[in-house]
Amino acid sequence: MSKVASKLRNWLGFDIVDEEEEVEDVELEEEQELEPIAAREEKRRERSRGKVVDLPVSSGRSKLIVYRPVSYEDTMSIIGNLKSRKPIILNMESIEIDVAQRILDFMSGACSAMGGDIRKISAKIFAVVPADYEIVGNSDGFKE
């Protein structure tokens, strides 16, 4: 009996099952029960091996950005680089203390929101890194 006729009869409510299909289903179930688990796993691995995905290759070298802000307005460009996943060295030596504090407060909030980290390197120099970087060192300001 053709598959189309069989599907039509099943759709109309005549639950007629083709004997050949039923025999094949029973044979498949019996084979699966008898087949050892290790052999099933091997077949599964063989089927999944054909799915290879290329990993993206970096088009260039990574960059470390060094900023020497002169005003609070520079903060947005610094955060733009942080969003682009670039590590930043922030040199606050040539800026007034109250402006430097505002910049650091804003940068600290941005780092926290993006899962990044900010660490003091020296009195007025800070490392600001995105979430996929870890700052490690033996200085007082760094994690060990």
Task: Give the domain range for residue 102.
Answer: 65-129
Cα separation of 69 and 91, whole Å? 7
CB 85 within 8 A of CB 132: yes
On whether both 75 and 123 belong to a single domain, the answer is yes
pLDDT, position 134: 82
Q: Got the DSSP string for 91-133? A: E-TTS-HHHHHHHHHHHHHHHHHHT-EEEEEETTEEEEE-TT-
Q: Which residues contact 75 (CB under 8 A, 6 or more apart)?
A: 69, 103, 106, 107
Sheet holding 88-91, edge to edge: 65-67, 88-91, 125-129, 117-122
| 85 and 118 together in one domain | yes
pLDDT tens digits, the chain, 144 residues: what are they? Answer: 567 777 767 766 665 555 555 555 555 555 555 556 667 667 666 665 555 555 555 566 778 889 999 999 989 998 998 888 899 999 999 999 999 999 999 999 998 898 999 999 999 999 999 888 888 877 555 444
Looking at the domain assignment, is residue 139 inside a domain?
no
- Asked if 81 and 115 sit in the same domain, the reply is yes
Domain annotation covers residue 54: no
CATH number at residue 102: 3.30.110.150
Return left, alpha or beta for 121; rule: phi > 0 is left, psi -120 to 50 is alpha, else beta: alpha
